[in-house]
Amino acid sequence: MILFGRRWVVLASLLFGAACGQPRVPSQVVPSTDEWRTFEGNWSPSGTRQTLDLGTNHRSSIFELTGSLLLIGDRGLGVGFQAQAIGLTDSLAGMQGRCVWTDERGDKVYSELKGEFVATGNQIVGTFLGGTGRYAEVTGEYSFQWRFIVESEDGAVSGRAVDLKGRARLGSAAAAPGGGHNQ
């Protein structure tokens, strides 16, 4: 009878120890910085445009646009950004510009824009040039078609990016503790 009691005490101690031990926390799955992250999005900016008439069927404009950029996708680049773009567009030479996406933490993604003359339906391609914080070593590209919504005589413009799609690869700064947030 005493032997049975000791076994019970030992069994109870083992069960109690297992129940009160440190809980197992599932390890977080951190995507590899080498993985491509695909995304789609919506960008609806507004801003200004100044245009020079350079002769028959030749116009050149500078533009500045700002607006909210929302992205979706598996392990995407991020969700919400404030996007600002500046550039030069020429009806004969095409468009070239720069864009900065700033997330809710202040981290930035830099990109170069190239494409056809900015007009409704024309294709624009962006190439990531790096950034700050967790985007310091970002690479990849994205594209969209431009649609004007408003074009006024005083230079005010607004539009939206249609079929915005891309892919990005984050660098080692994204995998650092705290996201590598330094600007």
Q: Residues near 131 by Cβ (< 8 Å), separated by ≥ 6?
A: 107, 108, 109, 110, 138
**Residue type for position 41:** G
Whether pLDDT at 4 is above 60: no
Whether pLDDT at 46 is above 80: yes
**Residue type for position 116:** E
pLDDT in tens, 91-110: 999 999 999 999 999 999 99
Q: How distant, in Å, are the alpha carbons of 17, 42, 69, 108, 182 from that of 83?
A: 54, 11, 6, 9, 20
- In the chain, what percentage of residues exceed pLDDT 70? 74
88, 113 Cβ separation under 8 angstroms = no
Question: At 121, is the pLDDT very low, low, confident or very high (cuts 50, 70, 90)?
Answer: confident
pLDDT mean over 129-138: 96
Whether pLDDT at 70 is above 50: yes
Q: What pTM does this model have? A: 0.74
Whether pLDDT at 12 is above 90: no
Distance CA 111, CA 109 (A): 7
Q: What is the pLDDT of residue 10?
A: 44
